[in-house]
Amino acid sequence: MMTAVLFSACRLAPKEDVSETIIGKKPLEVKDGRLNAEVLHLMGQVGGVTVSPDGKTVLYSVSYADIALNKRNTELFSMRVDGSDKKQITHTPGSESNAQYIKEGTRIAFLYQGQLWEMNPDGTARAQISRSDKAIEGFRFSPDGKKVLFVSQVKAFESSAERYEDLDKSSGRIIDDLMYKHWDEWVESIPHPFVADFDGFELSNVTDLLEGEPFESPMKPMGGIEQLAWSPDSKSIAYTCRKKTGKAYAQSTNSDIYLYNTGSKRTGNLTEGMLGYDINPQFSSDGRYIAWLSMKRDGYESDKVRLFVLDLTTTVKKYITEYFDYNVDDFCWDKQGSDLFFVSNVLGTNQLYRVNALDAVARTENHIVRLTEGDHDYTSVAVADGCLIGLRRSLSSPPEVYAVSLADGAQTNLSQENTDILNQMTMGRVEARWIKTTTREDMLTWVVYPPDFDPEKQYPAILYCQGGPQSTVSQFWSTRWNLQMMAAHGYIVVAPNRHGVPGFGQAWNEQISGDYGGQNMRDYLSAIDALSKEPFVDENRLGCTGASYGGFSVYWLAGNHNKRFKAFFSHAGIMNLEAQYLETEEMWFVDWDLGGPYWERYNSTAQKSYANSPHLFVGKWDTPIMVSHGELDYRILASQGMMAFNAAQLRNIPSRMLIFPDENHWISQPQNGILFQREFFRWFDHWLKKENKIED
């Protein structure tokens, strides 16, 4: 039997003070032309794209890592919309973020060390605008430049030390209601939107839009400044808010779009009676219309994401994408305020689309025009001079800033941040396969081949199980689940879009709710069985991996795979569904997906869910399994991973556990990310690259 090993974080950074070290781009040499963990983390991570008011210049950020220092730093860049005149405009040891053009494009505002700053477009003449005792987390200048909307935290609860003055060193949290934690934090403060006057040099006369209200705006844990917007006349602010607390908050997704008048300070609800998520408002250029993203049903966080438009003059709402059976992920208005551009995942790739928002016949599917083609994902969209600007990525390339011509649809990589590195590497071929499920439906499965693939040879294969659960296996790029890096290590990677992911119609997406351990597991087996029949796949060397719901899938398959696999690796997975119901924080999720609490014995959906809990199949485990988890994961507690590891140990299953005391549901620190990759491949290489390695 293999000895279990407990790992913690990587080696510490140097003891000397590195707080003033500037971390930037370094020349990289890829030794063998293959992607590896170090190169993956040292690639520049492009984001934060915005376009100047005249549409001629693009501002974006790039995050760089220093592995030895175990730190990241973000710098700002600008360029013309044709990719020319590219320059880095910040060079600091801290990170600049949330950059945007102000004063008709003559200055750039940004966040640095929690405060608001501005500078010239070339990075000179930096000046601090705000001097708040609280960090600013996002901001928007009013169109007239006279006010600033920003987000800061306000105190949520009285601490134990405040309640008992003689216990000023006490750390206990006194909790009286639900929703006391989010994915990776205890709720001690909540974000509020503030508006302040701006005289061109500093902020004054600050007003809390939710003064005295115990509600979040933007909404934790994922919401940001995109959930708030200025009207073009600078007189109103639209903001997203779920005006609930405690148990009601934990059980509901019913957020609304509110309109706040900066003069009267009165607030109205624009989406009253709409029961699901309503988020991310944007005004048309003339201010008559407001568009936003909406879900229909309360409590269902993976409901169809719909695009709505409200005529503020007539109060008529229009469901723009009613006949479009896919989600809208991001959107923007055109400069005329009549068309909307949006991002949507359709059949496994994220493309850009255009729709007329004002035409009465625009509700028919034929009036939604697809603007891009190709195996890639766009993750954002903005309007520029004669083109659209968006972040684009693929399974073979990290995100870059792309321009999409409105004249002919041509797509141009403007940022070219990682081109020099990618040119040194050979990526594996990515193939889209359509595999029949047991329901006789076609399922898109991405297959990634090793860079030097030889069809005359046999290769080990890894089945990749997606998390979410309702999250498409699209053309994503990740520093943790990077399918090209798995292929670069000599594996054929099989990544199915099983039932329960968006991008293939709402019926396909919704099938998984109340059916954990059901059809989607049969889909996984259909995919790996189809590839195992290929002569270049060694059916005796199959592995299986995934995180979150993908980690649940690994645990479930470990007890139900009928000896197909020779090794498993699960990160942040659910092992015990009954425990998960009472351990997680967003109760709407488990109520909808599992059908309700396990104690409702006459609830057939719930009982079916809990009967498929992976811990009930441990008696059939017979295959080596490795477990990884972060102790700051409050969504799926680390105890779930420990249960799985302990079960394997007690059953004498070869097993290993990798625990990160300082990571959450994800793995964000560079050295921890590299440690994860090294142990991931050490595990699979041991069990899949040598024959007859199952040890008694």
Rounded to a whole number, what is the distance in angstroms from the first to the last CA of the chain?
6
Q: How confident is the model at residue 207 (pLDDT cuts 50, 70, 90)?
A: very high
DSSP 8-state symbol, 482: -
As a whole number of angstroms, the distance between CA 593 and CA 509 comes to: 12
As a whole number of angstroms, the distance between CA 480 and CA 577 comes to: 25
Residues 78-104, buried b or exposed e (16+ Cβ, 10 A)? bbebebeeeeebbebebbbbbbbbbee
Q: How confident is the model at residue 585 (pLDDT cuts 50, 70, 90)?
A: very high
Task: Answer yes or no: is pLDDT of 56 > 80.
Answer: yes
Compute the mean pLDDT over every residue in the chain, rounded to the nearest whole number.
93
Q: How confident is the model at residue 360 (pLDDT cuts 50, 70, 90)?
A: low
pLDDT of residue 29: 85
pTM of the model: 0.94
Helix 549-558 vs helix 519-532: crossing angle, to nearest 10: 70
Q: pLDDT tens digits, residue range 82-134?
A: 999 999 999 999 999 999 999 999 999 999 999 999 999 999 999 999 998 99
DSSP secondary structure letters along 212-231: T----SSPTTT--GGGEEE-
Tokens of 461: 């294969």
Task: Answer yes or no: is pLDDT of 280 > 80.
Answer: yes
pLDDT of residue 365: 56
Task: Answer yes or no: is pLDDT of 49 > 60.
Answer: yes
pLDDT of residue 695: 42
CATH topology (fold) of 422-576+613-688:
Rossmann fold (3.40.50)
Q: In this predicted model, which residue has the larger pLDDT, 11 or 405? A: 405
Active site residues: 548, 633, 665
Task: Answer yes or no: is pLDDT of 565 > 60.
Answer: yes
Q: How confident is the model at residue 26 (pLDDT cuts 50, 70, 90)?
A: confident
pLDDT of residue 156: 87
pLDDT of residue 5: 30
Q: pLDDT tens digits, residue range 456-486?
A: 999 999 999 999 999 999 999 999 899 999 9
Task: Answer yes or no: is pLDDT of 657 > 50.
Answer: yes
As a whole number of angstroms, the distance between CA 219 and CA 249 comes to: 11
8 A C-beta contact, residue 295 and residue 316 = no
Q: In this predicted model, which residue has the larger pLDDT, 472 or 8? A: 472
Q: How confident is the model at residue 362 (pLDDT cuts 50, 70, 90)?
A: very low
pLDDT of residue 97: 95
**Rounded to the nearest 5 degrees, what angle is found at the Cα of 194, between the Cα atoms of 192 and 200?**
150
Q: How confident is the model at residue 346 (pLDDT cuts 50, 70, 90)?
A: very high
pLDDT of residue 390: 97
pLDDT of residue 198: 94
Q: In this predicted model, which residue has the larger pLDDT, 360 or 202? A: 202
CA–centroid distance for 17 within its chain: 33
pLDDT of residue 472: 97
pLDDT of residue 696: 33
Stretch 360-376: mean pLDDT: 78
Q: pLDDT tens digits, residue range 619-637?
A: 999 999 999 999 999 999 9
As a whole number of angstroms, the distance between CA 486 and CA 573 comes to: 20
Task: Answer yes or no: is pLDDT of 7 > 80.
Answer: no
pLDDT of residue 9: 30
pLDDT of residue 483: 98
Q: pLDDT tens digits, residue range 215-256?
A: 999 999 999 999 999 999 999 999 999 999 999 999 999 999
Q: How confident is the model at residue 10 (pLDDT cuts 50, 70, 90)?
A: very low
User: Count of alpha carbons within 13 Å of 383, Cβ hemisphere only?
Assistant: 17
| In the chain, % of residues over pLDDT 70 | 95
Task: Answer yes or no: is pLDDT of 660 > 70.
Answer: yes
Task: Answer yes or no: is pLDDT of 363 > 70.
Answer: no
Q: Which helix (H) or strand (E) holds 380?
A: none
Q: How many CB atoms lie within 10 A of CB 390?
A: 27
Task: Answer yes or no: is pLDDT of 43 > 80.
Answer: yes
Task: Answer yes or no: is pLDDT of 399 > 90.
Answer: yes
Coil vs helix vs strand at 584: coil
Q: pLDDT tens digits, residue range 515-558?
A: 999 999 999 999 999 999 999 999 999 999 999 999 999 999 99
The residue type found at 500 is G
Task: Answer yes or no: is pLDDT of 17 > 50.
Answer: no
Kindly tell me the burial class for residue 215, based on how many C-beta atoms sit within 10 Å of its own C-beta (0-12, 13-18, 19 or more). Answer: middle
Q: How confident is the model at residue 421 (pLDDT cuts 50, 70, 90)?
A: very high
Three-state SS string across 355-369, please? EECCCHHHHCHHHEE
Q: pLDDT tens digits, residue range 424-437?
A: 999 999 999 999 99
Q: How many CB atoms lie within 10 A of CB 597?
A: 15
Task: Answer yes or no: is pLDDT of 6 > 70.
Answer: no
Lowest-pLDDT range of 160-164, 188-192, 386-390, 413-417 = 160-164
